[in-house]
Amino acid sequence: MWYMGHWLVVVAAVVVATVAALPANIPENLQPLIGHQVWEVSSERGEAVLWNLVTEGHIDVLDHSGTTRKFRVAGKDADKVAGTLRTANLTHSVIIRDLALFLKEEEGPVERRADISRSCTTTSCPVPSKDAYMTFKEIEYYLKHIGNNNPRVELRSLGKSHEGRDIWLVHIKPVTSKRVGARIAFSHMRKRAIWIEGGIHARERISPAVTLLLIDHFLNDFPQDKPFDIYIVPMANPDGYVYTWTNDRLWRKNRRNNAGSCEGVDLNRNWDAHWGVGASTQTCSEVYRGPSPFSEPETKVLSEEMTRLNNQLNFDLVLSIHNYGQVLLYPYGWTTNPAPHTEDMKKKGNVFLKAAKAHAGTVYTMVNTAGGFYYAAGATDDWAKEKLGTRYVYTLELRDKGRYGFTLPANQILSTATEVWQGLDMMINAIAPEK
Ligand code: ARG
Ligand code: ZN
């Protein structure tokens, strides 16, 4: 959600803009949002009504924590949604009159794109950006750069997205040469393995930004006295990500052509784990589950590689990174029945919360997905828990709590990443104590 303090500015802008600001003045990737509004209802009673509207593709719920629900309504759906709310005796307030105008104001200074000439040349990008969101091309430059230059990195494409982009996997191998005797010591220890996935939802730009900085962190300052194999997918949904730059800043799904009026599958509803629960059968819905489990090349290649690696290495931790809400979620999302090792997950989750807060005071909370957030299956986390049997599985919703939401200002990238790696370092240590 977006900061309400801008409301007056936006209303004023709308008055002028409806006459003066023709679509040409609105950046391309905000144009689909012209006439979209953000509404709010009180949550408890509204939940079921909103859920029907979500599955039918009429609204996009933006906020899942707190006592209200905020959602986006397209101009064409406004009458229908207002009618449904009225019938259910729910009153709504309009929080943002026009999202395109609102985000146009916000995005200029706070979410500028990376300056290619400054942070990347056309052939290399040696560090991930800490203060600007990188384009997919820039991300690839960086990944190829470390893949070619860092002996601890193995970069592999797991396969192609619908539109033919690579799904990159970064394997960070344990340190073996830096410390005397480390190789020998490691050979006697069980190998530890971690899987981190970012960018499965296109609009959650802070997710790949943080995930890329985690790669940098694990390579340069993660204190490794244990043999960790760290596998990181910084960009699970490249087509959707590119689409947020070119066409629609708030695009969430992938870019499957559904041969109908709406494109895209929600990749975090497409995994083969209680597929269908908390998801939609309608292509226009933001939570469309796809035609079948693992129908999407993106989820298919991820799950195949995870299965293959897990058979060899037995993951200690699987983490899927999203935003927003500042919540650490533990499975399941499909049922409130407790998952195996729930107490362990909570205990180590608390280690994360505490260490993350120590950096900049950012408060993350921890809840069970189905119990405290919402029911939804077919996600990375439930699949890893059930099909791989991983003990520690989480979905992490990064900053913020709604002021900027998906358009988190780029000047928060570094501090968000820092609190995450501080949390993760402590958590990883707690998961794999001295042997
Ligand atoms: N915001 C995430 C999503 O909607 C949360 C996923 C949590 N996990 C789950 N199984 N529902 O995809
Ligand atoms: Zn997400």
Q: Is residue 305 among the annotated active site residues? A: no
pLDDT above 50: residue 122? no
Ligand 2 center from residue 323 Cα (angstroms): 6
Q: What is the pLDDT of residue 435?
A: 45
Ligand 2 center from residue 253 Cα (angstroms): 9
For ligand 1, say whether the CB of 37 is within 6 Å of any of its atoms. Answer: no
Per-residue pLDDT band for 188 (boundaries 50, 70, 90) equals low
Per-residue pLDDT band for 168 (boundaries 50, 70, 90) equals very high
H helix and E strand count, the chain: 13, 12
**Atom number, ligand 1, closest to the C-alpha of residue 287:** 4
Neighbours of 157 (CB within 10 A): 12
Distance CA 280, CA 290 (A): 8
pLDDT above 90: residue 59? yes
Q: Region 402-407: what's the mean pLDDT?
A: 92
Ligand 1 center from residue 154 Cα (angstroms): 29
Distance CA 41, CA 38 (A): 10
Geometric angle at alpha carbon 415, from 413 and 420, rounded to 5°: 95
For ligand 1, say whether the CB of 318 is within 6 Å of any of its atoms. Answer: no
Mutating to test ligand 1, I would choose from 373, 380, 386 the residue with most ligand atoms within 8 A of its C-beta, which is 373
ipTM of the complex: 0.98
Cα dist from 125 to 139, 216, 238, 278, 355, whole Å: 8, 12, 18, 40, 30
What is the tens place of the pLDDT at every residue in 20-52?
A: 445 558 999 999 999 999 999 986 678 889 999
Report the mean per-residue pLDDT for the chain. Answer: 88
For ligand 1, say whether the CB of 266 is within 6 Å of any of its atoms. Answer: no
Which one of the listed residues 40, 140, 204, 397 is annotated catalytic? Answer: 397
For ligand 1, say whether the CB of 382 is within 6 Å of any of its atoms. Answer: yes
pLDDT above 60: residue 9? no
CB 214 within 8 A of CB 202: no
pLDDT above 90: residue 14? no
Percentage of residues in the chain having pLDDT higher than 90: 73
Q: What is the pLDDT of residue 17?
A: 47
Q: Region 82-97: what's the mean pLDDT?
A: 95
pLDDT above 80: residue 219? yes
More confident residue, 12 or 313: 313
pLDDT above 80: residue 64? no
> Residue 182, exposed/middle/buried by CB under 10 A (0-12, 13-18, 19+)?
middle
Buried/exposed code over 248-280 (b: 16+ C-beta within 10 A; e: otherwise): bbbbbbbbbebeeeebbbbbbbbbbbbbebbbb
Where do runs of H (alpha helix) occur along 115-262?
A: 116-119, 136-149, 182-187, 206-220, 238-246
What is the tens place of the pLDDT at every residue in 234-266?
A: 999 999 999 999 999 999 999 999 998 899 999
Q: What is the pLDDT of residue 299?
A: 98
Distance CA 330, CA 332 (A): 6
pLDDT above 70: residue 348? yes
Task: Enter the pTM of the model.
Answer: 0.91
CB 224 within 8 A of CB 174: yes
- Which of 252, 244, 208 is closest to 417 using CA atoms? 208
Residue having the nearest C-alpha atom to atom 12 of ligand 1:
268
Ligand 2 center from residue 299 Cα (angstroms): 14
What is the tens place of the pLDDT at every residue in 329-343?
A: 999 999 999 999 999
pLDDT above 90: residue 232? yes
Per-residue pLDDT band for 68 (boundaries 50, 70, 90) equals confident
For ligand 1, say whether the CB of 63 is within 6 Å of any of its atoms. Answer: no
Q: What is the CA radius of gyration of the chain?
A: 21
pLDDT above 50: residue 8? no
Mutating to test ligand 1, I would choose from 253, 268, 271, 406 the residue with most ligand atoms within 8 A of its C-beta, which is 268
What is the tens place of the pLDDT at every residue in 265-298?
A: 999 999 999 999 999 999 999 999 999 999 999 9
Q: What is the pLDDT of residue 159?
A: 98
Q: What is the pLDDT of residue 432?
A: 83
Residue having the nearest C-alpha atom to atom 5 of ligand 1:
395
Ligand 2 center from residue 151 Cα (angstroms): 32
Please state whether the peptide bond connecting residue 400 to the residue before it is cis, i.e. omega within 30 degrees of 0. yes
For ligand 1, say whether the CB of 329 is within 6 Å of any of its atoms. Answer: yes
First to last CA, the chain: 45
For ligand 1, say whether the CB of 369 is within 6 Å of any of its atoms. Answer: yes
Neighbours of 289 (CB within 10 A): 27
Q: What is the pLDDT of residue 314?
A: 95
Per-residue pLDDT band for 224 (boundaries 50, 70, 90) equals low
DSSP character string of 167-201: EEEEEEPPP-SSSTTHHHHHHTS--EEEEEEE-SS
